[in-house]
């Protein structure tokens, strides 16, 4: 029997046509009509005024944090339960990640944990913003992430950050097509960061984007991503920059994929519903689901087992049966290079790490493949 993949891309639209157009015209590199179009159309879908396409989601996080004012000696609030890139981004800028626990339902950053910690362990800075009592460092930004596409309580986090003078940057790498109370996940902060890696809902091969309503942020990200080029004719660069611009070839794929986004989202929701129906009444396993007010893109479905032992058994049985299931990321505070600064207990993140298992979820899955996964889960 063939394997059931975790998440494979679907190329069922204009991908070949747009790629051929790049080759025929010679516009393959980091300028071209597809880059402009991909930025414009993605910004529109996100309900944001501006977008800057870059080479990866990681690069988007790096530059968005820079544009948000994060610098050497600062601290940045990040979830402990996230992919490594969220917590690496502050380090690129000489800042330190400080980990926040998740809530059990959405696995996203818990607003009440954060609010209590602000009160207890930080003090207001004279010029606005907050400083931690333990390290004395400024908290420059907060980077919530919408785990597996499930929207977190981003409006509460945004209000909390606004009240405390802390820049909100969203890691929306997994949540293109997700909404919270009618607004796109990734459109709540000063900037949102998207990823178009091969395993994401929509792919450009490799790619990322910063979306924002702020001209200052968009212009800054564009400048830094093009080697801080001030004058093309004289090769004058006015500060340290990066070569992070997305090539036209990748943007051509992106434009073709974006045309299919609604179809991908509909199929992914149908897959999630099929898992939900198939797991109803199965004891000891619960499928993570969007909260009231949230609409998930269902990037990766996930089940929570009652114990770490059951989760481990589930993982090995699924994979032995050719069903690609995956554990959740090792939490940030347990990664050796990231440090262990925290806002208190991280036990819910650790518990999710040990008990949650991701299930095959790509838009190209057939009903039969979902049913096979369900069979192994029910056994
Ligand atoms: C995929 C992902 C990224 C990084 O994206 P790349 O394009 O692979 O650099 C960042 N954060 C999260 C949460 C992700 O899932």
Task: For residue 236, count CB atoms less than 10 angstroms from its CB and return exposed for 0-12, middle for 13-18, buried for 19 or more.
Answer: exposed
Ligand 1 center–CA 211 separation, angstroms: 15
Residues 90, 98: Cα–Cα separation, whole Å: 10
Percent of the chain with pLDDT over 90: 97
Rounded (10°) CA dihedral 276, 4, 331, 113: -20
Token readout for 321 is 């049966």
Residues 41, 44: Cα–Cα separation, whole Å: 5
Residues 6+ away with beta carbon under 8 Å from 35: 53, 245, 246, 247, 248, 251
Task: For residue 243, count CB atoms less than 10 angstroms from its CB and return exposed for 0-12, middle for 13-18, buried for 19 or more.
Answer: exposed
DSSP 371: H
**pLDDT bracket for residue 1 (50, 70, 90):** low
Q: If you average pLDDT over residues 268-293, what whole number do you get?
A: 96
Query: CB count, 10 Å around CB of 320?
Result: 9
Q: Which of 54, 64, 65, 83 has the most ligand 1 atoms within 8 A of CB, as the residue to mutate?
A: 83
Going by their DSSP bridges, the two strands 96-100 and 122-124 should be labelled as: unpaired
> What's the distance, CA 358 to chain centroid?
16
Q: What pLDDT digit, counting tens, does each position of 323-366 carry?
A: 999 999 999 999 999 999 999 999 999 999 999 999 999 999 99
Q: Is the pLDDT of residue 191 over 70?
A: yes
Q: What pLDDT digit, counting tens, does each position of 202-223 carry?
A: 999 999 999 999 999 999 999 9
The atom number, within ligand 1, closest to the CA of 56 reads 7
Q: Is the pLDDT of residue 174 over 90?
A: yes
For residues 210 and 52, the answer to whether their CB atoms sit within 8 Å is: yes
Q: Which of 86, 297, 330 has the most ligand 1 atoms within 8 A of CB, as the residue to mutate?
A: 86
Residues 74, 92: Cα–Cα separation, whole Å: 12
Ligand 1 center–CA 85 separation, angstroms: 6
Q: What pLDDT digit, counting tens, does each position of 102-135 carry?
A: 999 999 999 999 999 999 999 999 887 899 999 9
Ligand 1 center–CA 173 separation, angstroms: 5
pLDDT on residue 142: 98
pLDDT on residue 25: 95
pLDDT on residue 132: 97
Residues 70, 117: Cα–Cα separation, whole Å: 20
Going by their DSSP bridges, the two strands 167-171 and 191-195 should be labelled as: parallel
Q: Which of 345, 346, 314, 340 is nearest to 327 (CA)?
A: 314
For residues 168 and 189, the answer to whether their CB atoms sit within 8 Å is: yes
Ligand 1 center–CA 299 separation, angstroms: 13
Percent of the chain with pLDDT over 70: 100
SS (H, E, C) 82-137: CCHHHHHHHHHCCCEEEEECECCCCCCECHHHHHHHHHHHEEECCCCCEEECCCCC
Torsion over CA: 25, 27, 32, 37 (sign): positive
pLDDT on residue 126: 86
Crossing angle for the helix pair 248-258 and 15-25, to the nearest 10 degrees: 150
pLDDT on residue 7: 97
Q: Which of 137, 147, 134, 135 is nearest to 86 (CA)?
A: 147
DSSP 208: E
Ligand 1 center–CA 63 separation, angstroms: 14
Pocket residues: Cβ below 6 A from ligand 1: 56-58, 82-83, 85-86, 145, 171, 173-174, 195, 197, 208
The atom number, within ligand 1, closest to the CA of 85 reads 10
Q: Is the pLDDT of residue 176 over 70?
A: yes
Q: Which of 261, 262, 283, 287 is nearest to 370 (CA)?
A: 287
The atom number, within ligand 1, closest to the CA of 195 reads 7
pLDDT on residue 31: 86
The whole-chain average pLDDT of the chain stands at 97
Token readout for 201 is 């809902």
pLDDT on residue 379: 86
Q: If you average pLDDT over residues 171-182, what whole number do you get?
A: 98
Q: Which of 9, 55, 64, 85 has the most ligand 1 atoms within 8 A of CB, as the residue to mutate?
A: 85
Ligand 1 center–CA 124 separation, angstroms: 32
- DSSP three-state, residue 285: strand
Ligand 1 center–CA 279 separation, angstroms: 29
Q: What pLDDT digit, counting tens, does each position of 48-82 carry?
A: 999 999 999 999 999 999 999 999 999 999 999 99
Ligand 1 center–CA 11 separation, angstroms: 21
Q: What's phi and psi for 158, nearest 5 deg? A: -65, -45
């Amino acid at each position: 029997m063939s394997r059931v993949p975790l998440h494979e891309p679907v190329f069922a639209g204009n991908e070949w046509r747009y790629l051929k157009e790049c080759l025929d015209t010679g516009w393959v590199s980091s300028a071209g009509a597809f880059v402009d179009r991909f930025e414009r159309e993605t910004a529109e879908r996100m309900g944001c005024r501006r977008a800057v396409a870059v080479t990866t989601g990681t690069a988007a996080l790096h530059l968005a944090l820079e544009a948000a004012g994060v610098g050497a000696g600062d601290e940045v609030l990040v979830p402990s339960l996230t992919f490594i890139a969220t917590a690496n981004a502050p380090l690129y800028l000489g800042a330190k990640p400080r980990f926040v626990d998740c809530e059990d339902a959405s696995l996203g950053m818990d607003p009440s944990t954060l609010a209590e910690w602000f009160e207890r362990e930080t003090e207001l800075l004279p010029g606005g913003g907050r400083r931690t009592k333990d390290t004395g460092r400024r908290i420059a930004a907060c980077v919530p992430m919408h785990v597996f596409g499930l929207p977190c309580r981003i409006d509460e986090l945004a209000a909390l950050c606004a009240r405390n003078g802390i820049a909100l940057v969203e890691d929306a790498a997994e949540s293109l097509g997700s909404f919270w109370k009618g607004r796109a996940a990734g459109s709540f902060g000063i900037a949102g960061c998207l990823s178009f890696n091969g395993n994401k809902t929509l792919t450009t091969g490799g790619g990322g984007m910063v979306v924002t309503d702020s001209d200052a942020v968009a212009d800054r990200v564009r400048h830094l991503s093009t080697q801080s080029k001030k004058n093309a004719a004289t090769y004058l660069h006015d500060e340290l920059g990066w070569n992070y611009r997305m090539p036209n070839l990748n943007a051509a794929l992106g434009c073709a994929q974006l045309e299919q986004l609604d179809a991908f989202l509909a199929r992914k929701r149908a897959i999630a519903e099929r898992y939900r129906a198939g797991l109803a009444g199965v004891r000891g396993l619960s499928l993570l689901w969007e909260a009231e007010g949230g609409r998930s893109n269902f990037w990766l479905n996930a089940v929570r087992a009652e114990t770490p032992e059951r989760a481990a058994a589930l993982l090995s049985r699924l994979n032995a049966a050719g069903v690609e299931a995956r554990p959740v990321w090792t939490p940030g505070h347990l990664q050796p290079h990231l440090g262990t600064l925290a806002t208190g207990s991280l036990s819910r993140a650790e518990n999710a790490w040990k008990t949650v298992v991701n299930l095959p979820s790509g838009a190209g899955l057939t009903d039969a493949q979902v049913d096979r996964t369900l069979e192994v889960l029910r056994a």
